[in-house]
Amino acid sequence: MKYRIIIFALVGSLVLMSVLAFVFGRRGGGGEAATLEFWGTEDPANWSQAISAYQTANPGVKIKYTQKDSLKYEKELVDALASGAGPDVAVINNTWLNKHLNKFSPAPNDAVSPQIFKDSFVDVTYEELVRSNKVYALPFYVDTLALYYNKALYNNAGLVSPPKTWDDFNKSVESLSQKNSNGDIIRSGTALGTAANVNYASDILNLLMLQTGATMLNPNAQQAAFDRIVVLDGRNYSPGLAALDFYTSFANSSKPVYAWNSRMPNSLKAFTAGKTAMYLGYAKDLKEIKKAVANLGVAPMPQIKDSRRDAAYLDINYAAYQAGAVTLSSLHKETAWNFLVFAAGRASAAGYLQSTYLPPARRDLVDFTATDPILNIFAKQALTAANWSQPDEVEVKKIFERMITATALGQTTAAEAIKEAAAEVTNLLK
């Protein structure tokens, strides 16, 4: 709690100074009188500070924020845009531009250029939000997967610190898991291996594939490639298959790391109930977890240890975030982009951080989280975050979950499952 008080005090002073400078130093540049319709899925309180400050600096502009149901939002937004009743500004998931690019208007270079974007935000956002040298959206935060662990269970198992590599992760799972004489799981070392009862199963497998060096798509992005076999040290090797085998090993009763199965409860519920010792989740899970786990630890996501490339090895983390975009149908594109630039600016982003406790997308706010050890873990991981150009986030998630389930339940071999999944993703690309 003391860290949050410190960082909130720092954020508050930054917001106050920056907003005063904005209001008294220059106008926001919105110019025209307009009412901007702004859609998203978050609590309106998260946007109240930025909206209020912008309207103060631009008295002729009114911004109306509408909170939408996250489960129905994408379809509702697409349908509204098709009928001409959509918003001026929409909060979108980081993968949506892959299938909805033609529904949004790029920023004028005098509002935000690709170079300014690249200098301002972490790398993964440039790769996903800048297309054909045009900025299509501005990120508000970048969340990453990290390791949550129960310190009390660690202490009981005689473990001093969380694992930094997946090899050490396996050893920790073996030490933390408890089984009865029949081999039934009493306490799980980790909640991994299946899909239906593991939060972010698809994201975790995606991360493992990226860490093992799998190429997700071929060079022209017309075909899935994560099932490909490469030659490594004179031997055939499939990075994607290795990742799938590793993930599902935790649900394989013949493996030393067996710790989970399809009969277990939801992974987050199991962790908060003390039934599993390690949980892989996002910063957005922290609030719920802290309510239930008194002796909580958070650590960076484990990484691959490979003696062949350790000297040059770079960490890879997995990004999930949202960004603001201006719709193609907006009648106030210039004003809408002016507001977005303000909302994603340092002062507003600091206020958003204070309200949401989500790690910043802005480079100049990463060090700002140093007073909060937990938030700083997520903020630093954003610097090494990656993703890939998923043609349809929802459908890819379903495909990856089917691949995991088929393998974990022994319905097919891992090699057959990944081949089928790659074929299905390729069909999405057509």
Going by pLDDT thresholds of 50, 70 and 90, the confidence category of residue 21 is very low
CA 140 to chain centre: 12
Residue 400 vs residues 181, 351, 403, 421: alpha-carbon distances, Å: 34, 36, 5, 7
284-299: buried (b, 16+ CB within 10 Å) or exposed (e) per residue? ebbeebeeebeebbbb
Pairing relationship of beta strands 276-281 and 185-190 according to DSSP bridges: parallel
Residue 210 vs residues 59, 214, 262, 315, 386: alpha-carbon distances, Å: 47, 6, 25, 10, 8
Task: Find the mean pLDDT for residues 61-67.
Answer: 99
On the question of pLDDT at 234 being above 90, the answer is no
With residues binned 3-state (H G I as helix, E B as strand, rest as coil), the percentages for the chain, rounded to 5, are: 45, 20, 35
Looking at residue 308, its pLDDT comes to: 53
Going by pLDDT thresholds of 50, 70 and 90, the confidence category of residue 20 is very low
> Residue 126 burial by CB count (10 A; 0-12/13-18/19+): exposed, middle or buried?
middle
CA 103 to chain centre: 23
Looking at residue 27, its pLDDT comes to: 40
Looking at residue 9, its pLDDT comes to: 52
Q: In 3-state terms, what secondary structure has residue 42?
A: coil
Task: Find the mean pLDDT for residues 242-252.
Answer: 99
Sign of CA dihedral 342, 347, 349, 352: negative
Task: Find the mean pLDDT for residues 125-132.
Answer: 98
> Contact at 8 Å (CB) between 195 and 401?
yes
Residues of the chain with pLDDT > 70: what percent?
A: 91
Q: Nearest-CA neighbor of 193 among 176, 205, 183?
A: 205
User: Whole-prediction pTM value?
Assistant: 0.93
> Contact at 8 Å (CB) between 363 and 120?
yes
Looking at residue 28, its pLDDT comes to: 44
CATH numbers and ranges of domains, the chain = 2-142+321-386 (3.40.190.10), 146-317+390-429 (3.40.190.10)
Return the C-alpha torsion angle 175, 176, 181, 182, nearest 10: -110
